[in-house]
Structure 1
């Protein structure tokens, strides 16, 4: 009896393990922020599997977990041509997008083979191939609108234009399915000869700015001198207008009067055009 009771315990534990394994094989889980896409006998269900526990049907159906959160796509080593027909050596772009979870099964049906599976998490990125192709085309089109010499100064404007173009193209093909949240141009590497041209252009721009400042200073100084000269000329005109013949004669008479008041002088000053004879004071002793 004791041997029989001991043998039942391992059998019971074994039964629990087998039952747990059986149940585990019949159930799975979908993480928060993701949805499941069920395929039954090769047919994709139109209804997504909600986050949580779901039932499996071995040999009949399978469920793949897809992300409905923001997904990042990194495009590296792109070599588009700029507006001046010069090819860039390396352009790296990251695009972030989301897919409405209710449309993920339909996308999987429409774009078979275009989703990508993350190697670390095993979660699928919906229609990543489609978005990547649209982004690549948008990058090449936008780069073709900008000269290579100024492209390094237009990264934010280019990123915004790429996002708008990608969103419009995805919306045109699949309305209310994709949302492009942002685009980041991580790197723009031009040809070495272009880099030298950029440096030369920057140096020339700085030189031009310095010359412009110097020209402006010279212009302001000239304006100041003109203003000063105009002020002096105006003052002279005012003085000249006030010097009448009578006023000048009066001033001359005052000067002669002061000169004559000095009794120890023998100098006689005869003003020009004087109408009267000079008055000479002779001392009485002589």
Structure 2
């Protein structure tokens, strides 16, 4: 047996193990925080390879990228004192990379570990404040209109959360956005919403009918005004002399027919009839 063939792989493995025990890597977008003999360093370790001393110092990797907090099954109470059946919100935040070392020291027990192994700075703290922000902003809206103002509600939650985080840690956190994934109201509220929508549609239809009736009335008024003005013009042109002239012309045409059995007596004239007795 060649002992060298056995010793070489063993030596390589031991060297690799020793190297792994004193070195590590930080992913792009994240930072490393070194703790030496229980003391947290205030200098963040940037992305790339880092070295450590076994049993003396450790390095924890923290995310410097956007972190999502999913708040599910919330039942906040609206302004009209009615509770939502279910509300799901996603909050996106990040911590400034240059502040993560101080942040991890201040909120040492508030960080949470991601499934990929790195830590999410102050996750538990932001989670609680975000939940409270959701409840506070919902309390400003009536339950009947929440489903129509999801985008505005998300913006209000984002603003509220940012304000609350800045109170104790100004310039440390950045809230990217808040997304309302789902809003489910109580069944009785749903029925009220449907009735409100139906009433709104009915009101819109009535308004359209009113406008149509008003337009039709305006048309009739316009037509009546036109007829009245036309009659007024005609009446103004019918003078006494004109009417007498027309009567004279009518009598002339009547006389030209040679009808001697008919007597035409103009209105307002007193005439003694002459009767031929044949004697």
Query: Which secondary structure state, in structure 1, belongs to the residue aligned with residue 228 of structure 2?
Result: helix
* Distance in 2 between residues matched to 1:114 and 1:271, nearest whole Å: 117
Moved more, 266-275 or 255-264: 266-275
Alignment pair present for 1:270 and 2:270 = no
Q: Deviations over 1:231-263 (max 9, x none)?
A: 111111111111111111112122222222223
- Which residue of structure 1 lines up, in the alignment, with residue 113 of structure 2? 117
Pick aligned residue for 2:24 from 20, 24, 28: 28
Aligned to 1:108: 104
Q: Which residue of 2 aligns with 1:281?
A: none
Q: Could you say which residue in structure 1 is the equivalent of 2:277?
A: none
2:144 is paired with a residue of what secondary structure? helix
- How many residue pairs match? The answer is 273
Q: What is the DSSP-based 3-state SS (H/G/I as helix, E as strand, rest coil) of the residue aligned with 2:176?
A: strand
Distance (whole Å) between structure 1 residues aligned to residue 228 and residue 29 of structure 2: 84
- Could you tell me which of 121, 126, 142 is aligned with 2:121? 126
Between the aligned partners of 2:127 and 2:260, the Cα distance in structure 1 is 112
* 1:266 CA displacement: 3.6
CA change 1:143–1:265 in 2 (3 A) is farther
Structure 1 position 269, deviation (Å): 2.2
- More deviation, 71-80/173-182: 173-182
Deviations 1:97-148 (A, max 9, x none): 12110101111111121111112x0111111112212211111111111111
Q: CA RMSD in A?
A: 1.8
Q: Secondary structure at 1:149's aligned position in 2? A: coil
After alignment, is 32-41 or 163-172 more displaced? 163-172
**What stretches of structure 2 of length at least 5 have no aligned partner?**
274-279
Residues 141-184 of structure 1, C-alpha deviation per residue, up to 9 Å, x if partnerless? 11111111111111111111111111122122212111111110
Q: Over residues 207-250 of structure 1, what are the superposed CA-to-partner deviations in whole Å (9 max), with x where a residue is unaligned?
A: 11111211221122112111211111111111111111111111
How far does residue 92 in structure 1 lie from its aligned partner after superposition? 0.6
Alignment of 1:1-286 (within 5 A): 6-119=2-115, 121-263=116-258, 266-274=261-269
Q: Tell me how far 1:12 sits from its aligned partner.
A: 2.2
| Contact 2:265–2:271 (Cα < 8 Å) also in 1 | no
Measure the CA separation in 1 of the matches of 2:106 and 2:174. Answer: 18
Return the TM-score normalized by structure 2.
Answer: 0.92
> Secondary structure of the equivalent of 2:171?
coil
Instruction: Return 5+ residue gaps in structure 1 as ranges.
Output: 279-286
